Structure 1
């Protein structure tokens, strides 16, 4: 099988961990960009990347690059692509666009112009035309225009890869699965200690933590990928790739626990964990974190997503002070990480973070912070540096 270049899209701040994931999977020529990592592999590796990568949102396969600086050069460039290599006139398709160009500032216009070229080419050749389907297209294409360079890619993933397929229910402010997995990997979580999410909501961080701990492929529960509708789809190869990934799962010898004080969240989290076939690894209890204490021996790894006051009405100052007090008084020998988009609220925690990493939760700029709670002391010892 021949190798080709691919592009994995990700969130800001995850480029390095995605590059590391790709290298560990066996990708070649891994190079980081902004919110993307490019790499080289064959068709089997494309299947593997979609199944196994935790911090990728999409895997794109570039098929054509040309210069475009107005609607005519865009149309002409699109006409030079032989679209019959990627689809037929009976299939539906869609264009998604990303623009960083002064020549084009309207993604709908670019998608429309591109569609015209595809339809005209098929009509000239066959007398028939394929149709657009925005919701369930047979083939998805991605257009990326950077200044005057237009790159057209096949989207091998389809729906964003954060849609893992195990969530049937979410709560008010759910965290994206790719964001959860990226936070866990940034925090150094590797399954070699006990784990706690003290405000677990619908259970996303718990599910991702268990899959990392057991080396279960991130997208094992997905119903489908876009490449399954391609003309070169090879189901036998896909089954082989999946089988080889499943052989690399590992045993987990610690506990993963989630607390939430809302009974409805606990029910949702339990449903989602069951959907993901992870209930043997995860225990979820209804509890108010501020009334709990550490119950496990040895070190404890904590990662959570507390309310920011964006969608939940809370007394932020008191709430964040209680986070700090609970960690300080009840959780010795713990590495606690949490994300917040409320940068003011961090001041109320009353502890000094040893790490601070800039991330985005959706459109909200956030900080992912680490607090180190040492055993045998009611105070934190902390490193002197902080990362902004």
Structure 2
């Protein structure tokens, strides 16, 4: 099987960890871009990347590049592709467009013009045209225009890869699965200690932490990928890749614990952990973190997503002060990481973070912060 170029899209701040994921999987020619990483691999690797990558949102397969200055050159460029290689007249398709160009103002206009070029090609050849289906298309086409450079790609993933397939129940303001996995990887979580999410909501961080610890492919629970409808779909190859990936899972000897003070959140988290087949690794209990103490003497790795006051009404100053006091007094020998979009609230924690990483939670600029709590001291090391 021949290798071809692909593009994995991701969130701001995750480009380097996505590149590392790709290298570990065996990708070739890995190059970091902005919110994206390009790489080379064959069809089997495309299947493997979709199944395995924790920090990718989509895997695109570029098929054609041309220069587009206006709607005529756009139409001509799209007609320069032999669409019968990817689609027949009885199938459906949809086009998604992103533009960074002065030549084109509206992505919907570009999608419409490209659609006209494709259906006209079929109508001229066969007298019949494929139709658009926005919900369940046979082919998802992605057009990216940067200034006058137009790249046409096939979307091999379909729905965004953050839709892992295990989360059926969500709480208020659930964290995106790719964001959760990226935070865990940035925090250095590798399954070599106990883990806790003290404000676990619907359990996303717990599920992602367990899958990382056991080396379970991120998207093993997904119902489908777009490439399953492609003309060159190879079911046997896909099954072989799943078998090979599942042989690489590993045992996990520590504990993964989640707390939430809301009974509804605890129930949803338990349902999602069950859906992900991770109930052997994760324990969830109803508890207010501020009333808890560290239970085991060994090191503890903590990653969580506290409320920012965006969608939940809380007394931020008091909340973040209690958060800092609980870590300081009750959680020695702990590396605590959390994300917040409320940058002012950090000053109430009363501890100095040892790391601050800029990320985005949706459209909100956020920081992933790390607090190192040391054994034998009620204070962080810098105060000793």
TM-score clears 0.5: yes
| Structure 1: distance between partners of 2:31 and 2:297 | 41
Counterparts of 1:108-187 in structure 2, within 5 Å, are 108-187=108-187
Matched, 1:204 2:204: yes
- Deviations 1:72-107 (CA, angstroms, capped at 9, x unpaired): 110010011111111101111001111111111211
Report the counterpart of residue 190 of structure 1 in structure 2.
190
Structure 1 runs of 4+ off > 4 angstroms? Answer: none
Tell me the alpha carbon deviations over residues 214-259 of structure 1, each in whole angstroms, 9 at most, x when there is no partner. 0000000000000000000000000011111000000000000000
Q: What is the match of residue 251 of structure 2?
A: 251
- In 2, are the aligned partners of 1:372 and 1:382 still within 8 Å (CA)? no
Structure 1: runs of 5 or more not aligned: 384-388
Tell me how far apart the structure 1 counterparts of residues 136 and 354 of structure 2 sit (CA, whole Å).
46
Q: Are the structure 2 counterparts of residues 79 and 314 from structure 1 closer, same or farther at C-alpha, using a change threshold of 3 Å?
A: same
- Report deviation, 1:382: 4.1
Q: Which residue of 2 aligns with 1:3?
A: 3
SS at match of 2:108: helix
State the secondary structure of the residue aligned to 2:308: coil
Q: Could you tell me how far apart the structure 2 residues matched to 1:327 and 1:380 are? A: 10
Distance 1:70 1:346 in 2: 49
**Counterpart in the other structure of 1:386:** none
CA distance in 1, matches of 2:211, 2:319: 30
Query: Cα distance 1:259–1:36, how it changes in 2: closer, same or farther (>3 A)?
Result: same
User: Does structure 2 conserve the Cα–Cα contact (< 8 Å) formed by 1:303 and 1:338?
Assistant: yes
Q: What is the Cα deviation at residue 22 of structure 1?
A: 0.2
For 1:100 and 1:24, how far apart are their aligned partners in 2?
A: 32
What SS is found at the alignment partner of 1:357?
strand
Distance 2:248 2:297 in 1: 28
Matched residue count: 383
TM-score, structure 1 length as denominator? 0.98
Report the Cα offset of residue 297 of structure 1.
2.1
For residues 218-257 of structure 1, what are the structure 2 equivalents within 5 Å?
218-257=218-257
2:102 is matched with 102
Distance 2:350 2:107 in 1: 46
Q: CA deviation at 1:293?
A: 0.5
Alignment of 1:352-367 (within 5 A): 352-367=352-367
Alignment partner, residue 64 of structure 2? 64
Aligned Cα RMSD in Å?
0.7
| CA distance in 2: counterparts of 1:380 and 1:257, whole angstroms | 23
Aligned to 2:44: 44
Distance between the aligned counterparts of 1:281 and 1:274, measured in 2?
Answer: 10
Report the Cα distance in structure 2 between the residues aligned to 1:365 and 1:292, rounded to whole angstroms. 30
Which structure 2 residues correspond to residues 222-301 of structure 1 after superposition, within 5 A? 222-301=222-301
What whole-Å deviation, never above 9, does each CA across 1:187-211 have from its counterpart, x for those lacking one? Answer: 0000000000000000000000000
- Seen in structure 2, the aligned counterparts of structure 1 residues 382 and 230 have a Cα distance that, compared at 3 Å, is farther
**Per-residue deviation, residues 262-317 of structure 1 (Å, max 9, x unmatched):** 00000000000000000000000000000001001210000000000000000000
Q: Distance in 2 between matches of 1:292 and 1:199?
A: 12
- Structure 2 CA distance, aligned partners of 1:206 and 1:68? 46
Distance 1:234 1:138 in 2: 15
TM-score, normalization by structure 2: 0.99
User: Residue 90 of structure 1 aligns with which residue?
Assistant: 90
Deviation for aligned residue 1:180: 0.2
Native 8 Å contact 1:353 1:382 kept in 2: no
